[in-house]
């Protein structure tokens, strides 16, 4: 039996149906104490997390398999105190998220979405579409050089971009390290956010960083919506203080601030960076593995 601690994607749930007994909150509540204490595995997602009240009812829980790379929805210190190993799925998310980030960079610079609208509106008959920017030679700043950030850097460098990055510290990487995000914004044309979410990065990109990115600068976010001060971003886009943004994540999902929909310089994506057939295949395979060998890839507090 596996306790469902938070929402999990429907395709993951369907893939596990018949293989394991997934116990939702109602089914867990109906069990007696000894039965709940016998449950050693939990299942949730990076967005679903797991609250202390539910964990209190599962004293025998020893591992949680989590769909997704993020851990900011979890109290890692509390899990450590309880002796519970958190097992996310970062490796299977890396390639697709990095690929999406690169796609959004290209879409922004080459006006892919805007040009689609231009043709559909019939504006082509009146004149030429607006000019974009060449991707090769653009200065790219990556915020957070973890698994995903490093792959973004590698892919964009292969396209001829000049890559710099920032993070907690410099890494053994072939790109230029910049000590903080504001200085990085000064030095680049496109700022790509691939850092972790949570309180440590909340509002990391605000009005000052956006102003230092400047009117020819672009922002791409495939990390967490909380990393960006959305009110400041909307104001910067409305006032033309940055050239554009592409967002796969938002502070409020699935109902982001409606003002984003009115901004022609903003590309919107429904937290879909990992939505590929290959990812779902690999993800489901990894979740199956974790439910059998969950403690082997645990995240410590």
Catalytic residues, by residue number, are 224, 253, 271
How many C-beta atoms surround the C-beta of residue 67 within 10 A?
26
Q: Calculate the CA dihedral of residues 155, 133, 170, 274 and round it to 10 degrees.
A: -40
> What whole-number distance in Å separates Cα of residue 225 and Cα of residue 8?
20
Q: Nearest CA to 209 among 182, 188, 229?
A: 182
Pairs from 53-58 (Cβ < 8 Å, separation ≥ 24): 54/3, 54/5, 54/25, 54/28, 55/5, 55/79, 55/82, 55/84, 57/28, 57/29, 58/3, 58/28
Burial 258-290 (b: 16+ CB within 10 A, else e): eebeeeebbbebebebbeeeebbebbbebbbeb
DSSP bridge partners of 267: 246
> Which residue is listed with tokens 């993951």?
12
Residue 205 DSSP code: B
SS3 (DSSP) at 55: helix
> What whole-number distance in Å separates Cα of residue 260 and Cα of residue 228?
13
> What whole-number distance in Å separates Cα of residue 295 and Cα of residue 3?
16
> What whole-number distance in Å separates Cα of residue 230 and Cα of residue 163?
25
């Amino acid at each position: 039996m596996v306790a469902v601690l938070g929402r999990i994607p429907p395709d993951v749930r369907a893939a596990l149906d018949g293989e394991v007994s997934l116990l939702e909150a109602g089914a867990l509540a109906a069990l007696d104490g000894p039965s709940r204490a016998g449950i050693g595995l939990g299942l949730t997602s990076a967005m679903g997390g797991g609250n202390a009240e539910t964990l209190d009812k599962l004293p025998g829980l020893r591992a949680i398999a989590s769909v997704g790379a993020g851990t900011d929805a979890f109290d890692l210190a509390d899990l450590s105190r309880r002796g519970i190993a958190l097992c996310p799925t970062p490796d299977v998310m890396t390639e697709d998220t990095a690929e999406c980030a690169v796609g959004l960079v290209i879409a922004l610079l080459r006006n892919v979405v805007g040009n689609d609208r231009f043709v559909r509106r019939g504006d082509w008959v009146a004149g030429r579409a607006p000019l974009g920017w060449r991707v090769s030679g653009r200065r790219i700043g990556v915020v957070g050089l973890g698994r995903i950030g490093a792959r973004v850097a590698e892919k964009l460098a292969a396209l001829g971009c000049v890559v710099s990055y920032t993070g907690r510290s410099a890494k053994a990487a072939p790109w230029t390290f910049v000590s903080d995000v504001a200085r990085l914004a000064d030095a680049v044309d496109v700022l790509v956010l691939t850092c972790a979410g949570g309180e440590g990065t909340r509002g990391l990109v605000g009005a000052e960083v956006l102003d230092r990115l400047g009117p020819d600068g672009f922002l791409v976010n495939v990390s967490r919506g909380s990393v960006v001060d959305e009110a400041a971003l909307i104001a910067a886009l409305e006032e033309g203080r940055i050239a554009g943004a592409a967002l796969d994540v938002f502070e409020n999902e699935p109902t982001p601030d409606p003002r984003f929909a009115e901004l022609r310089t903003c590309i919107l994506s429904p937290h879909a960076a990992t939505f590929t057939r290959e990812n779902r295949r690999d993800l489901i395979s990894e979740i199956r593995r974790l439910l059998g060998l969950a403690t082997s890839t645990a995240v410590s507090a």
